[in-house]
Amino acid sequence: MKLFLDTANLADIETALQKGFIKGITTNPSLMAKEPKGNYIDHMKKIVKLIDQYSNPVSLSVEVFAQNKEDIITQAEELVGEIQYENLSIKVPIGWEELEAIYTLSNQGISVNCTCIFSEAQCMLATNAGAQYISIFGNRVKELRGNFTGTVGATRKWLDMNNITKTEIIMGSIRSGIDIVDAQLAGAHIVTAGLPHYIKMSEHPGTTASVDQFMTDFEGWLT
């Protein structure tokens, strides 16, 4: 399972790129709203510059903020043209009108990350419309249905049964390292989470105790 970073924060992105474990970056309007005010496209270009700096050509998902299919298509085309990044995906929320935008963009060769998904049925629609990624909002699904693993598992089973390999499941709305493990066990291809979750994943009391013991033993041998 691949790990994506869910943020628009340049410092967090640079830190994760330095560590080398992320395979993608996802952004959304709410994450952008946490950053200093500025130009949306210019901010995305700064992210691309960081990616290029570390020679790590990860996937980058950038969300449209238009709300009708014509404007979504136009805005998506503008983002692709302005950002000029080979591994760019355009995030489009699932919806009846939005399906046509997903289909149109996909047929133009533009990678689409269909977002705001809460059900297996939505996953099926987005996949058939041509989405490369289908982003399930894990803990928001959990709040409504009690768990998210059923949605992820059923969708992965449907993809595998139909030999669909062009579309990958992204699990978002992550609130703990346990969520990340659960998503992997359920069959998600990708998890996207904030940097603090990955930092916590790298830590364990047993690791700290073992390293301390190694150093104590070695220092005793040196003396």
Length of the chain: 223
- CA 166 – CA 20 distance, rounded (Å): 25
Q: Is 91 a catalytic residue?
A: yes
Would you tell me how many other CB atoms lie within 10 Å of the CB of residue 131?
29
Q: What is the DSSP string of 46-103?
A: HHHHHHHHTT---EEEEE----SHHHHHHHHHHHHHHH--TTEEEEEE--HHHHHHHH
Three-state DSSP state, 116: strand
CB contact set of 182 (below 8 Å; sequence gap of 6+): 148, 149
Q: Which tokens go with 9?
A: 């924060």
- CA 223 – CA 220 distance, rounded (Å): 5
Q: Which of 91, 83, 185, 97 is nearest to 134 (CA)?
A: 91
Residues 91, 142, 166, 200: which is the catalytic one?
91
Q: Which tokens go with 56?
A: 């790590």
Catalytic residues: 91
